Structure 1
């Protein structure tokens, strides 16, 4: 991939402190605002999300200024002006309670709402790039209880355990969970977490549901129900992935309607989320083998067949009777990556540090989509997905970059700059942050 190479401009040393002040003024610490009234478990359209003053991007701004790279510093300062989620991935219960309380108090002082990601489920990521998590179900439940105590009565958005449902232990390998015990424990842990977090009066919880190119609508709806989504605000989509926002909105609306169909719909449908049409198949399509006569997950022009099934079987239900969702738009401005034909014989890992991607829609709770509560930057922009090798046997170097990628969660300045330069729409400073 051709890397961005911003022109470096040298600043006289006496001007460096002034440049730091100019670039970081108004973005290092969010502007003061009056706290919003307590409206319960809702996410108003005018919600302002918390901006971390010591983010990776803010630190990179200073690094670039010290290196006399004004173009790079400006790009990173623009990135640092926007709110991103804060991930909690480990630590003792005492540590996570203290760290969570500190963060929500900082946000409350600025009249903003923090986005928190709880990512510590046992057996996380099938022991792959982002492996880790609590050592047992009991340890996890103690950790999540402390996480909830740390939030207390403060306002917070919680994205609960990315990939934990879309990638259950039973999905990892034939030998990972032969008896189903681990999967049952996973579902119990998620139910516990939903209940513990939703007991906090200012917390809205979104149980992660993967993305539009993973589990079918009915499969993920069934898993969401098993994990307690009916007690949560809803679910999250596209976390750490790259699929376009409109695809996530479309898929999320189907999932919401499928949840209604299997719980509040006609009596014959109760418990049958598996009957829902999906991004892979719709009974309403002719399915006769002719072009366009069946649903194709990679061709949204065929998705009208699934729309038709839901219109016939669910109709138009009020938004307050349907589960809502949030979408991660941190890296989906260019959509998903399609590797050149014939380049890779195995799985090219399109989800793992794909080249040429860009930041997508800005964080907002005013999406214009009835069931989409917010577009959020959940994945930290510029952090690596892991040491991808495009499934080349014995390979450690990522052929798309010619290097060994940084470990998962590691700040990668070059990737951050690429994501900023390729942003759609073009990235600017957040309103009021320059």
Structure 2
């Protein structure tokens, strides 16, 4: 005799359609996730690459500071009736160049306000300012013409002021400490400078400022030695490095050098200072005679890792009290006129 269980009502089975809907929904979610990841990887859609992942020079033209020393010299020459000089200096002033930040001219407590004004003006013009941070302790330990800088304790707060102000811009670029790493080899200051610059990198990256570490130039420290220092400082965390800053090596020499340095640092991008290398002076770096303006600033898309040519050191400003020049950073009218005429 059958048991009572055989006569219990059977529970209705769930329709298979519900299970199918669940599978379809899960599949759709996976496809959406893959699409999101693909969009990020391809840099399409609403996802924008960060400040270190893109070439900002391809997005906007560079900024020419209306208050530069060349612009001031042009105004003074015009007021004095020196028409030819005024035109030459105005031509220099019209070309975008680096805006140098030193603690002597823009000390702690003031540099942030100055940078905020610069980046606001650049944003309004739809352009990219190039800020050159130049205040590391014992700054010019090899040449001495630009001696100075902050002590180690004051350095990072000063950089943080710069980073905070520059980070408020839509786009801004910092070239960090010309000559600092290459000179550290000669001055035996590797440990101190690696520590300070790596902290400065962290501050600038956190603020969202596109950053290039200084990478010396083709006639100085061997590439492998400099590449190791760049890696220690954190070149993989920033956009890349800058070469030929305030120097006169030719574009061909610098691109070859920089491509090698890029390979040694995992493919880092770079910029080249072409302000005064129209002739090239591989040995003399301090106001060498007979020079000419180099290639005008502009972004590059040629299959190399070169982002742009820049005039990081403003042409017309002295390298130091050598070859008849005034103190470093001062506008030198005679040399400025010669560069414009030759270049």
| Normalised-by-shorter TM-score class | 0.7 to 0.9
Show the 5 A alignment for 1:13-412: 39-41=49-51, 42-44=54-56, 45-90=58-103, 91-126=106-141, 128-135=144-151, 137-154=152-169, 155-168=171-184, 171-172=186-187, 182-201=189-208, 203-260=209-266, 322-336=267-281, 350-366=284-300, 368=302, 370-388=304-322, 398=323, 403=324, 405-412=325-332
Is the 1:386–1:407 contact (alpha carbons within 8 Å) kept by the matching residues of 2?
Answer: yes
Counterpart selection for 2:335 from 403, 406, 415: 415
* Residues matched between the structures, number: 290
Based on CA coordinates, which of the two structures has the bigger radius of gyration?
Answer: 2
Task: Give 1:39 deviation, angstroms.
Answer: 4.8
Is the 1:162–1:210 contact (alpha carbons within 8 Å) kept by the matching residues of 2?
Answer: yes
Mapped to 2, the partners of 1:108 and 1:213 lie a distance apart of 36
- Whichever structure has more helix as a proportion of its residues is 2
- Residues 38 and 103 (structure 1), Cα distance of their counterparts in 2 relative to 1, 3 Å cut: farther
Mapped to 1, the partners of 2:251 and 2:80 lie a distance apart of 36
Give the structure-1-normalised TM-score. 0.64
Which stretches of structure 1, 4 residues or longer, exceed 4 Å deviation after superposition? none
Task: Give 1:374 deviation, angstroms.
Answer: 1.0
CA RMSD of aligned residues (A): 1.8
- Residues 228 and 165 (structure 1), Cα distance of their counterparts in 2 relative to 1, 3 Å cut: same
Please list the CA deviations of residues 161-215 of structure 1 after superposition, one character each: whole Å capped at 9, or x if unmatched: 00000010x522xxxx5xxxx53121111001111101123x2100001100001
- Residues 369 and 65 (structure 1), Cα distance of their counterparts in 2 relative to 1, 3 Å cut: farther
Mapped to 2, the partners of 1:58 and 1:369 lie a distance apart of 35
Mapped to 2, the partners of 1:377 and 1:119 lie a distance apart of 16
Is the 2:60–2:126 contact (alpha carbons within 8 Å) kept by the matching residues of 1?
Answer: no
- Residues 38 and 64 (structure 1), Cα distance of their counterparts in 2 relative to 1, 3 Å cut: farther
Question: Which consecutive unaligned segments of at least 5 residues does structure 1 have?
Answer: 1-36, 261-321, 338-348, 389-397, 424-434
Is the 1:93–1:147 contact (alpha carbons within 8 Å) kept by the matching residues of 2?
Answer: no
Please list the CA deviations of residues 212-264 of structure 1 after superposition, one character each: whole Å capped at 9, or x if unmatched: 0001110110110111111111000000000111111111000111123xxxx
Is the 1:249–1:369 contact (alpha carbons within 8 Å) kept by the matching residues of 2?
Answer: no
Is the 1:165–1:210 contact (alpha carbons within 8 Å) kept by the matching residues of 2?
Answer: yes
Is the 1:46–1:366 contact (alpha carbons within 8 Å) kept by the matching residues of 2?
Answer: no
